[in-house]
């Protein structure tokens, strides 16, 4: 039997890394980190900084496990969609048993880190998020209802709550405000993507809103959600979590998002839907970055 070469091992490791959906995980950890920072008044001490770093590692591992499990469940769907057909599970380069073992190991390691070196509450909340995304959303909601992304968005909105719990051992109203912002941001973000990928979702047999209710109905809902999101983005200032710097950023970013949604509703094009999706990523990242900067100014 020929021993595996270094390049072969590196290729397999890269395939496993791809299963964790690194770009998505980076945004998850970033949002969790914002929750951690906002939970600590002033500049973190060295022990608090170390705790935050350990919590980020644990959350990263469990989130990566959920992403890998998602790839097993959706490998058939992924294979029929251009956006996801390149994933190792969809191409048959990694088997179900390998991927499941990889997911289980990541989840177990991340959970152990959170339980023993952070606190049990953060571990259980993170594990509940894993179940919510990997099982409730992926297995049950996604193939069942066009409101899948609305209901399942609760799992995606959990990172700042996890970060807050990691530093304080509880879940305060500030963490719930951050949760609400991401929860309301998720539908217009994903529906913008679904609008220009509608044929992919139709071929895959997934009941995304543009497939079941059409483009105009979906675009109206994108617009309405951006209006509600605008109001939610003001809550950190109203509640006293942030100051004028954040408020200015929130108003500008949310106004631009609403403008994108308005134009998308009135005069649709795939290119505009793509730009709206891309801006939604900028909106959330810049909004949370403004919260972070405002916290120290």
Per-residue pLDDT tens for 167-199? 999 998 999 999 999 999 999 999 999 999 998
* Mean pLDDT of the 254-274 span: 96
Q: What is the pTM of this model?
A: 0.89
DSSP 208-264: -HHHHH-HHHHHHHHHHHHHHHHHHHTHHHHHTSS-HHHHHHHHHHHHHHHHHHHHH
Work out the mean pLDDT of the chain and round it to a whole number. Answer: 89
* Mean pLDDT of the 114-138 span: 91
At 3 the pLDDT is 47
Residues 6+ apart with CB under 8 A from 183: 153, 154, 156, 157
201-230 confidence digits (pLDDT tens)? 888 777 888 999 999 999 999 999 999 999
Residue-range domain boundaries for the chain? 18-170, 172-297
Tell me the C-alpha distance between 65 and 287, whole Å: 27
Of 21-30, 92-101, 234-243, where does mean pLDDT reach its minimum?
A: 92-101
Of 142-146, 185-189, 238-242, 264-268, where does mean pLDDT reach its minimum?
A: 142-146
Nearest to 62 by CA among 142, 139, 132: 132
* CA distances for 156 relative to 103, 126, 191, 276, 291, angstroms: 18, 11, 15, 19, 19
Hey, which of 8-22, 65-79, 102-116, 195-209 has the most confident mean pLDDT? 102-116
Q: Predicted confidence band at 81 (pLDDT cuts at 50, 70, 90)?
A: confident
Q: Could you name the CATH architecture of 18-170?
A: Orthogonal Bundle (1.10)
Instruction: Check if the beta carbon of residue 183 is closer than 8 Å to that of residue 177.
Output: no
């Amino acid at each position: 039997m020929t021993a595996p070469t270094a390049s072969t091992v590196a290729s397999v490791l890269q395939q496993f890394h791809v299963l964790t959906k690194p770009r998505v995980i980076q945004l998850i950890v970033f949002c969790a980190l914002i929750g951690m920072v906002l939970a600590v008044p002033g500049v973190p001490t060295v022990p608090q900084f170390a705790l935050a770093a350990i919590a980020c590692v644990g959350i990263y591992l469990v989130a990566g496990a959920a992403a890998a499990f998602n790839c097993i469940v959706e490998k058939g769907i992924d294979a029929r969609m251009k956006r996801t057909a390149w994933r190792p599970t969809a191409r048959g380069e990694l088997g179900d048993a390998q991927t499941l073992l990889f997911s289980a190991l990541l989840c177990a390691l991340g959970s152990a880190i959170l339980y023993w070196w952070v606190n049990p509450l953060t571990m259980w909340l993170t594990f509940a998020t894993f179940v919510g995304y990997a099982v409730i959303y992926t297995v049950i909601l996604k193939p069942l209802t066009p409101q899948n992304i609305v209901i399942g968005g609760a799992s995606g909105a959990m990172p700042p709550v996890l970060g807050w719990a990691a530093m304080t051992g509880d879940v305060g109203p500030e963490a719930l405000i951050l949760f609400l912002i991401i929860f309301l941001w998720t539908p217009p973000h994903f529906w913008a993507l679904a609008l220009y990928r509608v044929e992919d979702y139709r071929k895959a047999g997934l009941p995304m809103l543009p497939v079941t209710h059409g483009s105009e109905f979906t675009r109206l809902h994108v617009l309405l959600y951006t209006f509600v999101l605008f109001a939610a983005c003001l809550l950190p200032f109203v509640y006293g979590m942030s100051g004028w710097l954040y408020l200015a950023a929130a108003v500008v970013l949310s106004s631009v998002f609403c403008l994108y949604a308005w134009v998308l509703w009135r005069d649709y094009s795939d290119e505009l839907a793509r730009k709206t999706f891309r801006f939604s990523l900028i909106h959330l990242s810049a909004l949370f970055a403004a919260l972070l900067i405002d916290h120290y100014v």
